[in-house]
Amino acid sequence: MSYIELAADLRSAIEQQDTAAIRHLVAEMQLADLAEFIQHEQEDTTLSLLDYLPLDERASAFGYLEEETQSALAAEMDDATLAELLHHMSADERADLFKLLDEARQQGLLRRLAHAEREDIRKLASYEEGTAGALMTSEYVAVPAEMDVATALEKVRRTGPNAETIYQIYCVDDEGRLTGTLSLREMILANPHATLASLMVEELVVAKVDTPQEEVARLISRYDLMALPVTNGGERLVGIVTYDDAMDVAEEEATEDMHKSVSVGKLEGGLRSASLFDLYRKRIVWLVLLVFANIFSGAGIAYFEETIEAYIALVFFLPLLVDSGGNAGSQAATLMVRGMATGDVRTRDWARLLGREVSVAIALGLTMALAVSVVGIFRAGTEIAMVVAMSMVLIVIMGSLIGMILPFLLNRLGWDPATASAPLVTSIADAVGVLIYFAIATAVLGLPA
């Protein structure tokens, strides 16, 4: 059965209080699907549904929940129940949940955990959010580089059940420094008496504990890694970041950039759980600023009042022209911001991209001018059509250049290029477009400036 069918049946079973059906359906659902279902339920219903799962599966399902839901559910559990849940969670998810709790609750839970778990939580929770240290897990398989394959495989069998992944084996020296890596497949096919040092790959892609999480995701994507090793300042292996965690980071970063592209701040917990006040607060600042930015467009229109009075037909083409400039600028800005985010575009590429953008913008402007000139001739005559066509070319060129240059400028100032959002580019391009249009009209139609 599909998730939609299972969810509908589970909803019906809950309404009918059919315990046997609930137990069966909960067991049938994938843990990620169950987490999606209970995300929308009240805390007491969610906890009762989780109780139908074995403890290890309950811990896994809990890890799929959003932070806000985890925090609310943790508040409903007593310390003993929550400590038992933490014990069965993966190391990185356990640390993430631990950081959501207040300090008094944290101390009470630490007293109920084993010494190794306490130290692991303290270590993982100490790293700054948004870094590889905060993202990594300490559950990995590391073996001495001088160990032979047969002995190493035996160690993998002992430690593998608790590891996040066993497909990549990390080789360390006597002090725990990372010296190389090899795959489980290579170990299985190798001579049992060969040492790992003779088989391992020594040219490694590694992150530091303070490496930004978006850089971690980029490295995993670029080199097609199952997991990325993380070292401390002394090159000692302290954890790994797996590809699934990197995918979550990539999605989070893409969502944040998309929000910025429409002048919306980061929404903690997502759109569905955001409060009305948060939605208002995240949107109002930029909207107010852009209101004042649009005053420049109004000032430009006011400056050319005499031109407008003499040729009222010019007003008909004003929205068409300024919107074209804003649209061209938004396209250019989106391409630049995305290129910079993926590493495809760098600051040193500025001059080469500028030349290309000018060429493309000229071609776009000429094509759009040709299309609009036909409308101009039928609507207002040849002179107005010539003004509109000339304006279209220049406005599209200027809009495209604004959209391309602004992300580079913001990046040079140390700001996020995603701030070069569509509304900001459009507002600037609108003001420039108004000035270009009426300046050309004034000059071509022989009116006083």
Q: What does the alpha-carbon distance between residue 135 and residue 118 come to, in Å, rounded to a whole number?
A: 18
Mean pLDDT taken over the chain: 85
Task: Examine the domain organization and report whether 425 and 306 are in the same domain.
Answer: yes
Tokens of 102: 């207040």
- Name the most confidently modeled range: 12-21, 285-294, 304-313: 12-21
Task: Examine the domain organization and report whether 376 and 402 are in the same domain.
Answer: yes
Which one, of 217, 207, 209, lies nearest residue 252 by Cα? 217
Q: What is the pLDDT of residues 342-383, one digit of tens each?
A: 677 777 777 888 888 899 999 999 999 998 888 888 877 888
Question: Considering the domain boundaries, does residue 270 fall inside one?
Answer: no
Mean pLDDT for the stretch of residues 63-91: 89
Question: Considering the domain boundaries, does residue 262 fall inside one?
Answer: no
Task: Examine the domain organization and report whether 235 and 369 are in the same domain.
Answer: no
Q: Which residues lie closer than 8 Å to 15 by C-beta, 6 or more apart?
A: none
Mean pLDDT for the stretch of residues 152-167: 89
Q: Which residues lie closer than 8 Å to 234 by C-beta, 6 or more apart?
A: 177
pLDDT surpasses 60 at 30: yes
pLDDT surpasses 80 at 84: yes
- What pLDDT score was predicted for residue 261? 56
Q: Which helix (H) or strand (E) holds 185?
A: helix 184-189
Structural domain containing residue 361:
294-444
Q: What does the alpha-carbon distance between residue 288 and residue 286 come to, in Å, rounded to a whole number?
A: 5
259 confidence band (pLDDT: 50, 70, 90): low
Q: How many domains does the chain have?
A: 3
Q: Which CATH number is 176's domain given? A: 3.10.580.10
Q: What does the alpha-carbon distance between residue 210 and residue 317 come to, in Å, rounded to a whole number?
A: 54
Question: Considering the domain boundaries, does residue 256 fall inside one?
Answer: no
Last residue of a domain, one of 88, 107, 129: 129
- What pLDDT score was predicted for residue 221? 86
Task: Examine the domain organization and report whether 228 and 299 are in the same domain.
Answer: no
Q: Which amino acid is at 60?
A: S
pLDDT surpasses 90 at 315: no
Mean pLDDT for the stretch of residues 260-276: 60
Find out whether 61 and 53 touch, Cβ atoms under 8 Å.
Answer: yes
Last residue of a domain, one of 248, 266, 282: 248
Percentage above 90 pLDDT, the chain? 25
Task: Examine the domain organization and report whether 229 and 157 are in the same domain.
Answer: yes
pLDDT surpasses 60 at 265: no
pLDDT surpasses 70 at 268: no
pLDDT surpasses 70 at 112: yes
Q: Which residues lie closer than 8 Å to 91 by C-beta, 6 or more apart?
A: 120, 124, 137, 138, 139, 164
- What pLDDT score was predicted for residue 398? 93
Question: Considering the domain boundaries, does residue 47 fall inside one?
Answer: yes
Q: Which CATH number is 341's domain given? A: 1.10.357.20
Which one, of 409, 113, 436, 132, lies nearest residue 300 by Cα? 436
Task: Examine the domain organization and report whether 113 and 147 are in the same domain.
Answer: no
Question: Considering the domain boundaries, does residue 90 fall inside one?
Answer: yes
Tokens of 387: 């003004």
Task: Examine the domain organization and report whether 302 and 428 are in the same domain.
Answer: yes
Which one, of 171, 243, 169, lies nearest residue 202 by Cα? 171
Mean pLDDT for the stretch of residues 269-291: 69
Task: Examine the domain organization and report whether 303 and 438 are in the same domain.
Answer: yes
- What pLDDT score was predicted for residue 262? 56
- What pLDDT score was predicted for residue 423? 75
Last residue of a domain, one of 210, 225, 248: 248
Q: What does the alpha-carbon distance between residue 400 and residue 332 come to, in Å, rounded to a whole number?
A: 6
Tokens of 263: 């002048």
Q: What is the pLDDT of residues 412-427, one digit of tens each?
A: 877 777 665 667 788 8
Task: Examine the domain organization and report whether 306 and 396 are in the same domain.
Answer: yes
Task: Examine the domain organization and report whether 57 and 184 are in the same domain.
Answer: no
Question: Considering the domain boundaries, does residue 12 fall inside one?
Answer: yes
